[in-house]
Amino acid sequence: MKWLVRILVLGLFFVLPSPLLTSVSAQSYEILLTGRVTSEDTGAPLANVSINFTTGLDTVEVARTDSSGYYTVTQTLFNNWIILFKPSDGKHFDEYYDNIPLVGEGRATTFDYVPGMLRHGIDAALVVKGDGQIRGTVISEADHRPLAGVYVEVYDGADRLEYQYTYKTDSNGVYAVTDLAAGGYKLKFNPVDAGEFYASEYSDGALNLATAQVIQVKHGEVVDGVDATLGVGGVITGFVQSNLGAEISLPAVKVYDQSSQEVTRGDPCYGENCTYKVTNLPPGDYRLFFRDRENGFRPSYYNGQSTLDQAQAVTVRAGEVTPNINVTLTYTPVIVSLATSKALPGILVVGVMGDLLPHYSLDDGHSWQRVPTSPVANHNSGSANYYLNPNVALVSRSGLSGQRILASYGYFYSHSGGGELYRSGDNGQSWAQIQSDPCNEVGSGSATFSPWTVSPADPSHIYFIGLCTYSVGEDNRVSYWLTKSTDGGVTWQSSSTALVGFDLDYKSRSSLVPSPMLANRLYYRNVSNNSHTSWSESDDNGETWKDRDFPIDFLALDGQNPNHLYGWRLGDLTSTYLPVGVRSEDDGDHWMQWAQQPCTPVDGDLLVSPFRSGLLFIHCSLGFGFFRSENGGDSWTKLPPIKGELWVADYSHPGRLLLAPDDSGELRQSLDNGESWQLLRPAGGVSPAQNRQPLYLPSITTQGH
């Protein structure tokens, strides 16, 4: 799980605002999350339930349920968190979202902060405490002495883990599992603290959960004599490394038996050569699975296999260590941002997880190379190399010898740190620092930078937002300043006044929204009014702003009609809080709901075609699917399902959409507005160790994107 860490961020030019996957410090904004808490037993609402955000280190209450079980969260102090529901009635168990008991913290859903994130239906059905018990004794098979320190894990009738480290045998080997509701349960006896060579087992001596005995408990019943005799087991050890010699972050090694049942997990390991250990295994053959979720390495079964059926078996013998079960994980260049340009047809640029340098294609995606250097390619923080998720963009201007590239780099952690900006005029072969301080109007302090935003109407117009932190007495203050270039990044100037109520958002595409038709028109989401969300609009390239009372939380602009705006907003605030899709045909003076809502809630990514007025696409959250409208949202067609949330319209090919599926490293294209998808860039692409040829792109006079 990713907690509050200092993250090194590199942003490289990009034509559309794209998500930058990094943590930012949260402030107070209206409605982040809503939901309802009920009793799993009766379905009745639970009042006064404490809603908590926890990072594993800190836990803070952020809301309580009302008499109908509803709650609303309006602020957070964390960048990433999981949600803990704590009832106050003494009759229900605490649990994490989504129906995860306290033992399953590592499996709980992690929420990443996004200003105005508006997640709805974050509900919970809490389990009622019972008055049944299961009791017994655990002894050693070798000498029949009682075993102290054996954890008794409890699974419900659906084989879901309910308790892991709650119940433990005492010095006489005796345990008692309490507070059980009527129903069937399975037990696992885990001797991890009794000694690594005791073999774990399930109730009635079973070797896996699927074959374990179900123990029936009636209301108020005490089931005695559920004993266990643990034999001698073995241990597996080894190390995990990457094919690049880079750092590995392995949450756990999963271990499967020969019936394909997961039987246990090894300890986490971190580092360039992380050593792992799996203990308390009964003698037998096992298959191991390794996955690094954070750094872009392809998961693998032992020994280098892609499926469980193909995995090489590892034999465990009683009383022995099976050593050197080592594995090398292969880097997979997962695409995290991508860009196209009408001015540079056939050229694609992608940002890749784990790589400081973007990858590019000069032949419409058939072959790929990398930008040659980065200003921060060798920059470390402490002893750790931070893998980055860069933004990319294409910008070309007449008279330049090649592609102009800009980069930003800084630390984002709470409201501290600094930022640096760089420019390259020779296709990324050398870099110079840009002397531009967006915080010069507020005195001493520090600045961090938002991702670059390039105007679709004129790609020589480039923007970023400086988040400036400074002190006044003992108080910390924050302000936001627009810094812009109108000559493709050669010269820069800051806005004359701070942006009031600016919503700095590193993930959403709705922080700063430039018009795709009018080069000097900009919008930003203004959260200075606590009663509702509004927007600010500038028609002079950010010099002056006027408030616009747009009743929306997400804004997208029509590529052919500057007066047509689209978005989604909250619906009935007194009941479901569900967002609905809306549009305006008079530059935001009046708004109407779409005649048909493609999904409920309407809160996914909304994409508007740059080539055809009223052609909309939405990838609904919560798994509802991918939809297209050809009439501004009044009717929708459900398209074939796609896997992935990173998708853009190709500005050099009218009608083409580009999609980067999650975790695969592939890039796919659709030439028929989402009806079908074809492979454009296979998994693998270019690794950081390959293809360091310089990037030379043609100098083109741009008119539009």
Strands 70-75 and 625-629: unpaired
Rounded Cα distance, 144 and 148, in Å? 12
Question: Do 428 and 694 touch, CB atoms closer than 8 A?
Answer: yes
How many angstroms separate the CA atoms of 155 and 206, rounded? Answer: 14
Instruction: Provide the 10 A C-beta neighbour count for residue 380.
Output: 10
How far is residue 659 CA from its own chain's centroid? 17
Query: Does a cis peptide bond (omega within 30 degrees of 0) precede residue 268?
Result: no
Q: Are 501 and 529 in contact (CB under 8 A)?
A: yes
Question: Exposed e or buried b for every residue in 513-540, given b needs 16+ CB within 10 A?
Answer: bbbbbebbbbbbbbbeeeeebbbbbbee
Evaluate whether 235-318 and 513-639 have a shared fold.
no
- The number of beta carbons lying within 10 Å of the beta carbon of residue 182 is 13
CA distance 59 to 32: 17
Question: 1-5, 443-447, 526-530, 662-666: which has the highest mean pLDDT?
Answer: 662-666
Instruction: Provide the token pair at 141.
Output: 């098979």
pLDDT digits over 154-201, tens only?
A: 988 777 777 766 789 999 999 999 988 888 999 999 998 899 999 999
Contact criterion met (CB below 8 Å) for 578 and 598: no
Distance CA 78, CA 48 (A): 23
CA distances from 496 to 13, 438, 461, 493, 499 (A): 24, 10, 17, 9, 10
DSSP element (H, E) containing 10? strand 7-12
- Give me the amino acid identity at 694: P
| Topology adopted by domain 513-639 | Methylamine Dehydrogenase; Chain H (2.130.10)
Whether the pLDDT of residue 704 is over 60: the answer is no
Cα–Cα–Cα angle for 120, 598, 36, rounded to 5 degrees: 20
pLDDT-based confidence at residue 366 (cuts at 50, 70, 90): confident
533 Cβ partners below 8 Å, 6+ apart? 30, 116, 525, 526, 527, 550, 551, 552, 553
Query: Does 303 have pLDDT greater than 60?
Result: yes
Tokens of 73: 């969260």
Round the CA-based radius of gyration of the chain to a whole number and report it.
Answer: 28
Strand partners, 470: 477
pLDDT given for residue 427 in this prediction: 57
Q: What is the CATH number of domain 235-318?
A: 2.60.40
pLDDT digits (tens, 9 = 90+) for 308-362: 999 999 999 999 999 999 988 887 777 777 777 766 777 787 777 666 666 778 7
Specify the range with the lowest mean pLDDT, choosing from 361-365, 370-374, 379-383, 547-551.
Answer: 379-383
Q: Where are the domains of the chain?
A: 27-112, 132-219, 235-318, 513-639
- Kindly indicate the confidence band of residue 294, based on its pLDDT and cuts at 50, 70 and 90: low
Is CATH 3.30.70.890 the classification given to domain 132-219? no
Q: In the structure encoding, which two tokens stand for residue 265, read together?
A: 């997990």
Contact 525, 510 (CB under 8 A): yes
504, 518 in Cβ contact below 8 A?
no
Most confident of 195-199, 327-331, 366-370, 658-662: 195-199
Largest distance between two CA atoms of the chain: 86
Q: Name the average pLDDT for the chain.
A: 74
Burial of residue 454 (CB within 10 Å: 0-12, 13-18, 19+) is buried
Under 8 Å between Cβ of 365 and 333? no
Amino acid code (one letter) for 222: V
pLDDT of 241 reads 82
Structure tokens at 497: 């006044």
* Best-predicted range by mean pLDDT (270-284, 362-376, 466-480): 270-284
- Checking if the pLDDT of 376 tops 70, the result is no
Q: Is the pTM of this model over 0.85?
A: no
CA dist 374 and 234 (Å) reads 48
CA 58 – CA 120 distance, rounded (Å): 24
Angle at 292 between CA 291 and CA 296, to 5 degrees: 120
Say which residue the tokens 């804004």 belong to. 555
Return the beta strands (E) in 65-173 as ranges.
Answer: 70-75, 80-86, 95-96, 111-112, 124-126, 132-140, 151-155, 161-163
| The two three-digit tokens of residue 12, written as one number | 């490289």
CATH topology of domain 27-112: Immunoglobulin-like (2.60.40)
**Per-residue pLDDT at 169:** 94
Is the per-residue pLDDT at 617 higher than 80? yes
